[in-house]
Amino acid sequence: MSKLTTTDHCSDVVGLKYVYPVISRRMGGLSIGINFNTNNACNWRCIYCQIPDLKIGAAPEMDFKLLEEELRFFLDNVLNGDFYERFQVDEDKRVIKDIAIAGNGEPTSLKEFAKAVDLIGKIATEAGVFPASHYVLITNGSLVHQSKVQAGLTVLKSYGGEVWFKVDSATEEGRALINNSAQSCKASFENLMISAKLCTTKLQTCLVDVDKQGFSNQEKQAYLALLVDIKKSDCDLQQVMLYTIARPSMQPEAPRLAPLPAKILNAFADEIRLLGFDVAVSI
């Protein structure tokens, strides 16, 4: 059995359809991923995405019975079985840090999103994983204006969960380049406001060097201006999480991409802190 590391985020490593383990560099332990997008479909196509054969689309119908069986089985194996030994997980990482709804596409595109969020929360609570571990939704935030997504965020909050809301660029050109998203900065901002009202929300931003251009001053200033607007709006944003790419992209743009140096990320983090935000940097 191969060693599970922070660079291995394969969603079928344990042979399950919906549930997969990740040693998270951001969380410092075991993150249990839940993949709603088993068809590798997303409504965005981020150029740093590690999903092979990514296609535009939504999550397929959920097999709730299978999701329940897999999650109960996997949690039991971690808590009472030999999971950590089989995957040679380092002693200091043998703790469930979170259960993260993430996977191979945009999870909020699932039709019965709130039902799935509730089922996961119920099972993890019964197993004693919640409330000690975090419950995280990793999302591009593009569908938060939909009532079905808002219902899911309300359920997530009831389990003490949090939203990691993606904003990789605060310019229309940057969003088109990095995320292949046609959604405007204004619409993204409005969705962020909704998310923060409904549930604990953190901003997650992947800064990547495209074509050796580095991190332009235009992008930096636009992002800082966005944060100023967030402050003015009284949005209760819990944290800004900056990171760069650590694993190879599976998109056609892969040869054009490189991680941003830690020095640039840390300097930018300091500028954000001056605006009064808590900032976490993952290299």
38-82 pLDDT, tens per residue? Answer: 999 999 999 999 999 999 999 999 999 999 999 999 999 999 999
50 inside domain: yes
Does residue 3 register a pLDDT over 70?
Answer: no
Q: Is 3 a member of any domain? A: no
- Kindly give, in sequence order, each residue whose CB lies less than 8 Å from that of residue 5, ignoring residues fewer than 6 positions away: 23
Q: Are 269 and 230 in contact (CB under 8 A)?
A: no
Q: Does any domain span residue 156? A: yes
In the structure, what pLDDT confidence band is assigned to residue 6 with cuts at 50, 70 and 90? very low
Has residue 245 been placed in a domain?
A: no
Tell me what the mean pLDDT of segment 1-24 comes to.
Answer: 67
Confidence (pLDDT) at 14: 75
| Mean pLDDT along residues 195-204 | 98
Rounded Cα distance between 17 and 139, Å, is 20
Q: What is the largest CA-CA distance in the chain?
A: 52
When the pLDDT of each residue in the chain is averaged and rounded to a whole number, the result is 93
Where in the sequence is the domain holding 66, given as residue range(s)? 19-204
Can you list the alpha helix ranges (DSSP code H) found in the chain?
64-80, 83-86, 113-126, 147-158, 172-179, 185-198, 217-232, 262-273
- Place 2 in a pLDDT band, splitting at 50, 70 and 90: low
Question: What does the pLDDT read at residue 11?
Answer: 45
Residue 215 lies in a domain: no
Is 81 within a domain?
Answer: yes
For residue 84, pLDDT over 50 is answered with yes
Task: Assess if residue 159 is contained within a domain.
Answer: yes
- Cα separation, 133 vs 125, in Å, equals 10
State the CATH number of the domain containing residue 136.
3.20.20.70
pLDDT of 27 strictly over 80: no
Q: How many other C-beta atoms can be found within 10 angstroms of the C-beta atom of residue 262?
A: 12
Determine the Cα–Cα distance for residues 152 and 199; give it in Å rounded to an integer. Answer: 10
**Do 20 and 13 meet the contact criterion of CB atoms below 8 Å apart?**
yes
Confidence class for position 12, pLDDT limits 50, 70, 90: low
The predicted structure's pLDDT at residue 52: 92
Model confidence pLDDT, tens digit, residues 88-139 = 888 889 999 999 999 899 999 999 999 999 999 999 999 999 999 999 999 9
Q: Give the pLDDT confidence score for residue 28 in this predicted structure.
A: 76
9: confidence class by pLDDT, cuts 50, 70, 90: very low
- Number of independent structural domains in the chain: 1
Does 179 or 28 have the greater pLDDT score? Answer: 179
Using the structure block, give the residue that is written with the tokens 């800004």.
240
Side chain identity, residue 59: A
pLDDT tens figures, 244-266: 998 899 999 999 999 999 999 99
Long-range contacts of 124-128 (CB under 8 A, 24+ apart): 124/71, 124/75, 124/99, 124/159, 125/159, 127/72, 127/75, 127/76, 127/79, 128/79
Per DSSP bridges, beta strands 237-243 and 279-282 are parallel
Q: Flag the least confident range among 21-25, 33-37, 122-126, 180-184.
A: 21-25
pLDDT of residue 283: 81
At residue 26, the pLDDT reads: 62
- In the prediction, which pLDDT does 25 show? 63
| 189 domain residue, yes or no | yes
CA 48 to chain centre: 13
Those residues with Cβ within 8 angstroms of residue 66's Cβ, 6 or more apart along the chain or in another chain: 17, 18
